[in-house]
Amino acid sequence: MEYAIETFSLTKIFSDWWGRTKVYAVDDLNLQVRQNEVFGLLGPNGSGKTTTMKMLLGLLHPTKGKALILGGDGANPKINSRIGFLPEESYLYKYLNARETLDFYGRLFGLPAKLRKMRIEALLDMVGLKAVANRSVGTYSKGMARRIGLAQALINDPELLILDEPTTGLDPIGTRQIKDLILKLAQRGKTVLLCSHLLADVEDVCDRIAILYGGKIQTQGRVRELLQQSHKIQITTDAISDSTLSKIEQLIKDEKAEYEVTSPMDKLETFFINTVAQAQRLAQPTSGAVSTTKIGGFLVQDVPLENILDKLVSSPVSKETSQEAPTTEKVPVDEDSGTEPDKQLLTELTGTAETSQSESDAGEEKTRTEPVESEQVPQETQDQVKKDILDRLTGRPGSQNDKNRQTD
Amino acid sequence: MRGIWAVAKNTIKQALRMKIAVVFIILLFVLLPVLGITTTGDDTLKGRLQTFISYGLSLTSLLLCLLTIFVSVYTVTSDIKYRQIYTVITKPIRRFQLLLGKLLGVMILDIVLLVLFSALIYTFAVYMPKIFKATDEELVQVNNEFYTARAALNIPEVDVTGEVKERYEKLERLKRLPDLPREEIIAELTKQAQLEKRAADVGGVLIWEFDNVKPLTESMFIKFKYDVAVNPPDMQVYGRWYAGDPQYVKYGQQPPTPFYDNILKHSIQTFHEIEFPADVVPENGHLAIAFMNVSLNRTSITFPPDGLAILYKADTFTANFIRAVFLILFRLVFLACLGVLASTFVSMPVAILLCLVLFSTATISGFVIESFDSLSANMSMFYSYTIKWIIRLLPQFDKFNPTKFLVQARLLSWSVLAQCVVFMVFIKSSILLLLAFFIFSYREIAKIIV
């Protein structure tokens, strides 16, 4: 099985009552999503992204053509048990609370009670809804419902994750977390099909993308290849003296190349995350979702099922509430989640040269946004607060890199 | 299987938390005790009991039927409308399993409520004599005529085809046939001949024989109604009734068992019951009943087709009551299947309307079938191949009406119950369910959004 998802001339025509063709929602689509790839399906509204997903999952029947998902039919329960699906909105049973909702979906997968319970707690922890888990999901805001929607898609630790507009309604921290999660899952060999029109999200995580318009693929390929401006290069340094700068400028002039000198800006995302982290540290109460960068333990560890169970049983599941100080790193499952690059960054920032390469080797390939510049923050700002915030929140400080790219 | 159970549990939670079931439950909890206190019937204890059991069971049955329709339709259609189904059927559960889960949830809810409310009705019915401080006389009456399950032996229909044929041929020979189609003349002659079999001129005797009579108690009852050719001045006639071994009644041989022989005076055109000792029934279960139109009367007496029955206690009230509750349950099974089927292809209001129409038609199915039968006399070919089959597919709620049995303390036999299971559950409900599975498995679940 070479491809996780493969479609052959997939076509969906919506007809009116008399059978007259109204719309070609999807037109002769040949899509190949490889195993262990984050694939982004992009397109403006009404370009057939969602229709394609629904046909993959058997919610709609193709008018013509065929779709294979994990080598089989999307309506086959055996295939379904290896898939996680988040529809364009989290359609939840309003009268169930978060825990019951996840329990229901866990039961549909036939997960044994103990494992189900462990996963539910881990997922609630991860999506930051543990404190409100006993409230019916009908009272949740859109973003909170989205988080539960995501949790239900992950409860079976899927091989293939199909996400339809996963970040709609989410706050920036949630968005960031989903992106981190996608990358983590990809590292573990999972396949992700992401459908979105939020280009920034797609750009950050996808290996390959296809852009759909009018039900047809307009272009597809590797993100890096599609976006790289090969005729330009970019150098980012710490603040250097004017004389050095003018020397460099002179060198560039000698090459007869055009250049531009600016200071990189923080991304709004990073700024926002830092602000919220500050508030959380001051223990301001919230009735909403608690922001975490945690990723459910069972999702990031490549261990057999029994071991997951053992691990979950032995690990102290954090009792997170809104008042909690950001010290949740003691949860072992966290350590190889988003926090690792931060430590790396911090060591770099504090001058100790030794960096843990274990994570970045794997991360480099997947995350093109790994820090290439690091000394931009003056050393004297490395107070405890910053340390905590970074530890807790900045899963990957790739934002600066993006900014720089835009300033070219 | 786990998936089915998860869906069933979720369905029950939905019915309770969305307050659909709660409305019905509260209504029943309020209405049943009120009924118990306020029903009076004809002011006798028996009348009171009959009215209460009739209203109580009918109300419970009606409300649970409506509840079943609403819940089974709501639980499927709301999943589709609010699209929770997207995340459910993309999990490892087959579509028919989802429907089965929904059905199971509805049925569990139904069973719990049915047991609860029928227990309430039963308790009320059993304690009513104490509540209303019944006299001994009333107690004897209700024990004989209400707290019992009496089997009824009706007049066996006599085969008169030969006789009718003879008469027709005779009329034909004499050229005195009326100017009517042959079928109508035959029907008329048959009616006449059968009436003659149930008529006794002054001094005449009618004998009926019954097999397999196995009374449980000491008393048996002849229930009858007189029709007369000429109304007597006081609207009353005499009758001499015999009951016992047919050998004695027919041939006058002295039987080993005792026999019953009495002359009684009864008013005409209303039902009466004569009690006679059960030990007149011989060992072999063969019983004969004879009626003699004594010469004190000056008119011939006939019994209408339903005008004579032998009643005897064949089972207890409790057993009869339990079987009656089962009849209600089978109704609910049918309606739940119907609701699930309807919601697989139409939206909620339409599905509910469809179910309600079919429910009310099923409640008067006897009437519907009869009227179609008579209406279609002229187009019998067309009728018997089309509409007839569609109508026969409807369940017959009125034929299997539990109150009909309990009010008259008639035995609701296991065979009636089995008949109901076979037709209403095994055949009709299964057809609905299979159809629902079929439609649901092949329809597109997602809505068309472009």
Question: Looking at the partner chain, which of A75, A87, A108 has a beta carbon nearest the beta carbon of B6?
Answer: A108
- Last residue of some domain: B249, B282, B315? B315
Question: Looking at the partner chain, which of A48, A54, A108 has a beta carbon nearest the beta carbon of B93?
Answer: A108
Higher pLDDT: B319 or B20? It is: B319
Return the structure tokens found at A75. 């309506």
Q: Taking CB atoms and an 8 Å limit, are A80 and B90 in contact across chains? A: yes
In a domain, B424, yes or no: yes
Chain A, window 51-110: residues with a beta carbon less than 8 angstroms from a chain B beta carbon? 51, 54, 57-61, 74-75, 77-78, 80-81, 83, 85, 87, 89, 91-93, 95-96, 100, 104-105, 107-110
Residues 6+ apart with CB under 8 A from A205: A38, A40, A179, A182, A183, A186, A192, A194
- Last residue of some domain: B263, B280, B315? B315
Question: Looking at the partner chain, which of B84, B93, B449 has a beta carbon nearest the beta carbon of A93?
Answer: B84
Residue of A nearest to B19 (CA): A95
Q: Are both B306 and B321 inside the same structural domain?
A: no
Report the number of distinct structural domains present in chain B.
3
Q: Are both B244 and B363 inside the same structural domain?
A: no
Q: Taking CB atoms and an 8 Å limit, are B82 and A91 in contact across chains? A: yes
What band does B80 get if pLDDT is binned at 50, 70 and 90?
A: very high
Give the domain extent around B358.
2-142+317-442
Q: Are both B113 and B163 inside the same structural domain?
A: no
pLDDT tens readout for residues B228-257: 988 888 889 999 998 888 877 677 777 778
In a domain, B20, yes or no: yes
Residue of B nearest to A73 (CA): B90
Chain A residues whose CB is inside 8 A of the B82 CB are 91
First to last CA, chain B: 36
CA–CA distances in Å: residue B69 to residues A281, B60, B63? 53, 14, 10
In a domain, B189, yes or no: yes
Q: Are both B134 and B192 inside the same structural domain?
A: no
pLDDT tens readout for residues B216-234: 778 888 889 999 988 888 8
Dist CA B88 CA B399 (whole Å): 40
Exposed (0-12), middle (13-18) or buried (19+): which is A300, by Cβ within 10 Å?
buried
Tell me the residue ranges of DSSP E strands in A240-325.
none
Return the structure tokens found at B303. 């019994």
pLDDT tens readout for residues A166-188: 988 888 888 888 888 899 889 88
Q: Are both B266 and B365 inside the same structural domain?
A: no
pLDDT at A129 over 70: yes
Nearest residue to B290 via CA among B214, B230, B345, B224: B224
Residue of B nearest to A109 (CA): B92
- Last residue of some domain: B284, B315, B346? B315
In a domain, B148, yes or no: no
Residue of B nearest to A53 (CA): B446
Q: Are both B7 and B44 inside the same structural domain?
A: yes
Q: Are both B51 and B134 inside the same structural domain?
A: yes
pLDDT at A371 over 70: no
Q: Are both B296 and B282 inside the same structural domain?
A: yes
Locus of tokens 């209400």? B146
Q: Does B10 touch chain A (CB under 8 A)?
A: yes
Q: Are both B26 and B126 inside the same structural domain?
A: yes
pLDDT at A49 over 70: yes
In a domain, B104, yes or no: yes
In a domain, B11, yes or no: yes
Q: Taking CB atoms and an 8 Å limit, are A60 and B13 in contact across chains? A: no
Q: What residues form DSSP beta bridges with B311?
A: B152, B221
Residues 6+ apart with CB under 8 A from A121: A130, A312, A317
Q: Does A26 touch chain B (CB under 8 A)?
A: no
Q: Taking CB atoms and an 8 Å limit, are B446 and A59 in contact across chains? A: yes
Q: Are both B226 and B267 inside the same structural domain?
A: yes
Exposed (0-12), middle (13-18) or buried (19+): which is A251, by Cβ within 10 Å?
exposed
Exposed (0-12), middle (13-18) or buried (19+): which is A387, by Cβ within 10 Å?
middle
pLDDT at site B448 = 59
Q: Are both B7 and B125 inside the same structural domain?
A: yes
Sheet holding B149-154, edge to edge: B149-154, B308-315, B219-225, B271-277
Q: Does A14 touch chain B (CB under 8 A)?
A: yes
Mean pLDDT score across all residues of chain B: 88
Q: How many helices (H) and strands (E) does chain B have?
A: 17, 11
What band does B348 get if pLDDT is binned at 50, 70 and 90?
A: very high
pLDDT at site B379 = 61
Q: Does B20 touch chain A (CB under 8 A)?
A: no
In a domain, B147, yes or no: no
Q: Are both B29 and B129 inside the same structural domain?
A: yes
Cβ–Cβ < 8 Å for B280, B243: yes
pLDDT tens readout for residues B265-303: 898 888 888 888 888 888 888 888 899 998 888 889 999
Dist CA A184 CA A190 (whole Å): 9
What is the CATH number for B296? Answer: 2.60.120.260
In a domain, B106, yes or no: yes
